[in-house]
Chain A
Amino acid sequence: MTLENDPAALIREKALWMRRTAFRMVHEAQLGHPGGDFSAIDIMATLYFGVMNYDPAQPDLASRDRFIMSKGHATGALYTALCAAGYYPEDWLKTYMQPKSLLNGHPNRNYLPGIETNTGPLGHGFPVAVGIAIAGQISGADYRTFVLTGDGEQQEGSNWEAAMTAGHRKLENLTLIIDRNRLQQGQGTEQTAGLDPLDDKYRAFGFHVEMADGHDVGALLALLSASPKGRGKPLCIIANTVKGKGVSFMENQAGWHHGVPNTEQFAQAMEELV
């Protein structure tokens, strides 16, 4: 099979480029959130290179599908996805978090095309996504709205307000993806303020819930690209992921939430990410 007729292979190739590029950005800036970037990158690559309708030349097109990175610190995953999707040239990535860079530590819609709303403080993206979906519902528009939250982020109460509204209004064009890497900044989510059973919670709020391996792009592709028409419920995908996925010394280590690599660690990661 070639990349052209094997969508999963194309997605995996993009995801590999995103991981290498994001880690280089973090290494050069000596700033960033690589653990959460890497848990989300396969999901992001699946959305941007297998699922969503968008046109980088017309980033404000009313009919575009929307993606919101609610875990706004995962800019390594977001900026590399938007760059690979053609929203801006690769050169821009070199300015990551430098003074006055458009590539702020958290995304800003006024700086970069392709960003739907400003995020960073947790628990903001989901309510905004609900608003976008309601706008589509009122207008009778067909676009889909995808929002990715961290799992620790689910501890913010605003998510549950949004879940209540989304379920009540049966927003079938809305998809919530939870990056369930089971680690937050300090330690495990279940040691901090437990979330399980997360699937039952979302079912109770009126969502159709799917569990997935968040690094199995074939499975993600099947779930995300299925038409939501007739479902009559918003979709929640709980994507089981590994924080720092792909780099041996980062995997499942809470310390890599905002850890930065030294020269040796960077070199080792580049050897592993092939």
Chain B
Amino acid sequence: MAAPAVKTEGLRDCRDAWSLTLCDLAANDPRIVAVVNDSIGSSKLGGFQKQFPDRLVNVGIAEQCMVGVGAGLANGGKVPFVSAASCFLTGRALEQVKADIAYAGFNVKLVGQSSGVAYGELGATHHSIEDFAWLRPLTNITVIVPADAWETAEAVKWAADHEGPVYLRLSRMPVPDLAVENRVFRPGKAEILRAGGDVTLIANGTIAHIALAAADLLAAEGINARVLNMATLNPLDEAAVLAAAEETGAIVTAEEASVRGGLGGAVAELTSAHRPVPVERIGFPGFLPTGSVEWLFREYGLSAEGIAERARAAMTRASK
């Protein structure tokens, strides 16, 4: 499969952080195993395979088996990281994710690679923009969407320590490091990337840095946007969302996912019940045409300009 063409200068592929961190952890914890579906290369697990050949379980192109095997490995005392393209991990094996991992409560870490529209040109079958909506109702899976390499490494470490099912949603599109001082990874808590009282931009994953750029554009117009990195989608940091609604009166969500049932859906569900404010949801409306990841981002408003425009719209709605 052709990787999307992205300029990599100054940017980092979070998959490198994921695989290096997993190797570090596995060196000290013999319980850690990796499970893949012929996805060693795309999961960047070649190094893991070299270091721990007996602890890499490749079931072949068999996602339902792969997730079930993950559950069985957990039953046998292992800490499995099941890594595959997230369109197939969460889609093909959705019932296994529900019954074998979430409902059974096994200590399995599902790692969705090349999520969102990373495989832009390969078409909607290979896009993973529904995974948030599929997994969010499986309430006991912690869903984490790291925004950069640092957060990816922290999330992998946290997942290995945490007893219970986790879904880590990674991209393959290189992203810049978020410039935040003294960062501490706090699962379940929104990270305030920028303070502001006029409007709140909530994003995660590959979109978090774009939301920050949007806040710069708004600042130039005298609009102080609060920017939240909602790396944990489930459980949602409800307090942060309701504080944003209360204190800024307007919210924009931006995610590399469907606008139905994901971050925007979660924020809208919560605010409509407890603190109704305008919520502008930026994401993808449904099955997408083929195109590069950059083109898809621009086309659907996942750009600094696009987010800024929706922020103004949200503020206008709030003032009426």
Contact = CB atoms under 8 A, between A and B. Distances in A.
A162 B68 CA distance: 9
Contacts of A120: 99
Contacts of B76: 131-136, 139, 141
Contacts of B33: 135, 138
11 contacts: A108-B103, A117-B75, A118-B100, A124-B68, A124-B95, A130-B68, A134-B57, A158-B68, A161-B60, A161-B62, A162-B69
B72 A135 contact: yes
Given A127-B68, A138-B78, A161 B59 contact: yes
The DSSP consensus for interface residues of chain A is helix
Contacts of A138: 33, 54-55, 78
Interface of A: 62, 66, 108-110, 116-121, 123-124, 126-136, 138-139, 141, 157-158, 161-162, 164-165, 168
A182 B64 CA distance: 25
B73 interface: yes
Contact of B99 (A118, A130, A133, A141): A118
A126 B62 CA distance: 13
A66 B77 CA distance: 13
Contacts of A118: 99-100, 103-104
With a 10 A CB-CB cut-off, give which of A108, A131, A157 has the most chain B CB atoms. Answer: A131
Contacts of B66: 127
B104 A110 contact: yes
A167 to B, nearest CB: 12
B91 interface: no
The DSSP consensus for interface residues of chain B is helix
Interface in B103-134: 103-106
A168 B57 CA distance: 11
B51 to A, nearest CB: 15
A164 B100 contact: no
B96 interface: yes
A243 to B, nearest CB: 25
Contact of A164 (B55, B60, B72, B77): B60
Contacts of A168: 60
B62 A134 contact: no
A129 B55 CA distance: 17
A157 B64 contact: yes
B105 A128 contact: no
Contacts of A165: 59-60, 62, 65, 69
A124 B96 contact: yes
B70 interface: yes
Interface in B13-58: 33, 54-55, 57
The 8 tightest CB contacts between A and B, nearest first, are A131-B72, A135-B76, A127-B68, A161-B65, A131-B69, A161-B62, A132-B72, A158-B64
Given A118-B100, A136-B76, A128 B71 contact: yes
Given A109-B104, A117-B104, A131 B95 contact: no
Contacts of A128: 68-69, 71-72, 75, 100
Contacts of A127: 64-69, 71-72, 96, 100
A105 to B, nearest CB: 13
A135 B68 contact: no
With a 10 A CB-CB cut-off, give which of A108, A135, A157 has the most chain B CB atoms. Answer: A135
Contact of A121 (B62, B70, B77, B95): B95
A93 B78 CA distance: 33
